[in-house]
Chains A and B, each alone.
Chain A
Amino acid sequence: MKKIFSYPKSLKNVPTHYCPGCGHGIAHRLVAEIVDELGIREKVIAVAPVGCAVVAYDYWDFDCCEAAHGRAAAVATGIKRARPGNIVFTYQGDGDLAAIGTNETIHAANRGENISIVFINNAVYGMTGGQLAPTTLLGQKTATTPEGRKAGSEGFPLKISEMLARLPAVKYIERVSLHSPQEVIKAKKAIKQAFLNQVNNLGFSLVEVLSACPTYWDMPAKNALDWIRDVMSKEFPLGRIK
């Protein structure tokens, strides 16, 4: 009998601090599996965000660097330019990438930096207590919008992927989801493509991953996955954007 599915080597065998049903655990595993499959464990450098995934370096068993809040794309730019032979990627949440880090993200994309970005979109600020994020859906209740997000006062959900896709230097943008095993397989394929683009020196790649936050969506884990499928993916359509 052969083991066909197990813990990837690039993921440390430690329990994570994530809540039950959190998508970060799946996304971490996918990144680790891809690093193993591409054989780039000795070359890869991750840039960790500020947010729930701030201690990603405690879970990945390869080189990681922590960035100040939102500055992961700028830090990755520096690392990649100083060490072009390394594979540099950032792993950021929506509060990190789409709020405080919008500036760094847009300019890194506009310069066509040869880095890969894994953008975890869970439509809420997880680490700080479930407040409104730029990606929060209209009508979605959060700690700071107890009656639901209203376009008149909080604006519309920010679609970073569509914005970046308009920039000429951007090579690859895809939006995937983690709401079912089938979608997890598609997500892995997309993240792998983003890494391969960098290996082949093709330029800036970003994969937006719709991920569940059962705790701050205030629902059981399975309902959270269904909510991504039925509601969130209508606002953020899945598929290749560029």
Chain B
Amino acid sequence: MPKIVIQKDRCKGCLLCISFCPRGLISVDKSLNKRGVRPVKVDTKGECLGCALCALICPDCCIEVFK
């Protein structure tokens, strides 16, 4: 099954990936990252399509996509 891996410490919390995930699998993490912002996290139990829309719109190259 496709999956994405988020590099949390790169994330600046713009939340654009959340807006574009067609399955709504990305949400805001409760804990802070090294930058002091709340990064995004992925729901690993949901069915990722591997569409890479999140990775395409991420301005900080935080997301890797595996298929």
Task: Select B59's contact among A4, A5, A18, beta carbons within 8 Å.
Answer: A18
Q: How far is the CA of A69 from the CA of B56 in the complex (A)?
A: 30
Report the Cα distance A222→B13, complex, angstroms: 12
How many A-B pairs have beta carbons closer than 8 Å: the answer is: 71
Whether the pair B63, A180 counts as a contact (CB closer than 8 A) is no
**Interface residue ranges of B32-67 to A (CB < 8 Å):** 35, 37, 50, 52-53, 55-61, 63-67
Q: Considering only CB atoms and an 8 Å cut-off, how many residues of chain A contact the other chain? A: 29
Measured CA separation A18–B58 after assembly (Å): 12
Chain A residues with CB under 8 Å of B57's CB are 26, 180-181, 184
Q: Which residues of A contact B19 (CB under 8 A)?
A: 222, 225
Taken together as a complex, chains A and B put the C-alpha atoms of A171 and B50 apart, in Å, by 37
Output the least CB separation between A174 and chain B (Å).
19
Chain B positions within 8 Å of A181 at CB level: 20, 52-53, 56-57
Q: Which residue of A lies closest to B12 (CB)?
A: A20
Contact with B along A210-222 (1 / 0, CB 8 A): 0000100000111
24 A-B contact pairs sorted by A residue (CB < 8 Å) = A3-B64, A4-B50, A4-B52, A5-B56, A11-B61, A15-B35, A15-B60, A16-B60, A19-B12, A20-B12, A21-B12, A21-B16, A25-B58, A25-B59, A25-B61, A26-B58, A180-B20, A181-B56, A184-B56, A221-B14, A221-B15, A222-B15, A225-B16, A225-B19
* Chain A to chain B: the 6 pairs with minimum beta-carbon distance, closest first: A25-B59, A21-B14, A5-B65, A20-B14, A20-B12, A181-B56
Residues on A close to B: CB < 8 A? 1-7, 11, 15-16, 18-26, 29, 180-181, 184-185, 214, 220-222, 225
